Amino acid sequence: MKETLLTGATGFIGGYLTDELMARGHHLRLLVRRRNAQIDQFEKNGAKIFLGDFTDNDLVKRAVENCGTVIHVAGATKKNSEKEYFEGNTRFTEKLLAPLTKEQRFILVSSQAAAGPSTGNQPVVESDPPRPLTWYGRSKLAAEESVKRWGADHDNNYLILRPCSVFGPGERDIYTIFKMLDRNVLTLLGTGEKRFSVIYVADLSAAIIAAAEGTVTGKTFFVCNDAPVSWREFSEEIRVAMGKKNLLRLMIPEWLAAPVGHTAGLIGKMVGKTFPVNGQKVIEMKQDAWICSNDAIRKELGWRQQVPLDRAMRDTVDWYRRNGWLSA
């Protein structure tokens, strides 16, 4: 088996995926910007580490040389300018593609944000024209377009995956809801009835592996659970998994989101930090729904959601508690 290059191993999805790939016998190369204890352990387990920035053309060339597959998970998710998102998502992708040959397979882990929101209960499908709303979404769509241009000259030897909202052990954004519930507070924007698609990190990892090990090429697939949920339903699943009963329930009026997000964005730029709620995040939160369909990936890759939502929640809560992120 030829070696596989993975980016993003220091992140939530990439770290989980690294473990899964190694368990399946993949010989891994990891392109990372920094070392940590997790990367040190991956190296001890046999992964080859390429340390540095994607702007280092020689490093990127050495990292991808003669490998069979490149799985690109890394990217910018929390930045304070559109330029930073395009640097971290679009330019990074283009740097990886530049030295590749048509014999090498390229898997881009993009985002539902590249497609944009859905309308009501009608899920977005792969044939719908993309309408990204945020800097992040536009930069991810631009990365997808770069992959497709590369594919036109390289036998379309690529796949693009668009995960929806991802949760699971080690995730830090949706974790905010777990953290609030740990303090016996449930906060919902508006009525909490807006619906969205979710995916557990284990199921997303299985989808990425199916893409890398399969023979389907030149396609784009959404990756999501079989059924969408409302924010109220999702929070209720967390509450049950945590065993919480008596909660302070706070309903935040939607009209408050915009000024709070705008202010947080301005402060973030001043201090060089991106807050969980900002102007870009508010744009996403205000949409009627973020629902996508997994029909295409089920049909063409044979991937299926394996972990029921309630079990995924229990496993996630257990991990947070074992690692001190939630009280016991």
CATH number at residue 11: 3.40.50.720
The answer to whether residue 131 is domain-embedded is yes
Tell me the C-alpha distance between 19 and 25, whole Å: 10
- Provide DSSP, 1-23: ---EEEE-TTSHHHHHHHHHHHH
The answer to whether residue 266 is domain-embedded is no
Tell me the C-alpha distance between 266 and 269, whole Å: 5
Tell me the C-alpha distance between 202 and 302, whole Å: 16
Q: How many structural domains does the chain have?
A: 1
The answer to whether residue 17 is domain-embedded is yes
pLDDT at 268: 46
The answer to whether residue 154 is domain-embedded is yes
Contacts of 279 (CB under 8 A, 6+ apart): 258, 261, 262, 264, 265
Domain that holds residue 20: 4-167+197-225+291-306
Instruction: Tell me the pTM.
Output: 0.92
The answer to whether residue 326 is domain-embedded is no
Residues 109, 105, 207, 19, CA torsion sign:
negative
pLDDT at 71: 98
- Cα-Cα end-to-end distance for the chain: 43
The answer to whether residue 180 is domain-embedded is no
Q: What share of the chain is helix, strand, coil (3-state, %, to 5)?
A: 45, 20, 40
The answer to whether residue 261 is domain-embedded is no
The answer to whether residue 285 is domain-embedded is no
Q: Along the 328 residues of the chain, how does pLDDT read in single tens digits?
A: 689 999 999 999 999 999 999 999 999 999 999 999 999 999 999 999 999 988 899 999 999 999 999 999 999 888 888 999 999 999 999 999 999 999 999 999 999 999 999 987 899 999 999 999 999 999 999 999 999 999 999 999 999 999 999 999 999 999 999 999 999 998 887 788 899 999 999 999 999 999 999 999 999 999 999 999 999 999 999 999 999 988 888 767 665 555 454 444 444 455 555 556 666 777 787 888 999 999 999 999 999 999 999 999 999 999 999 999 999 8
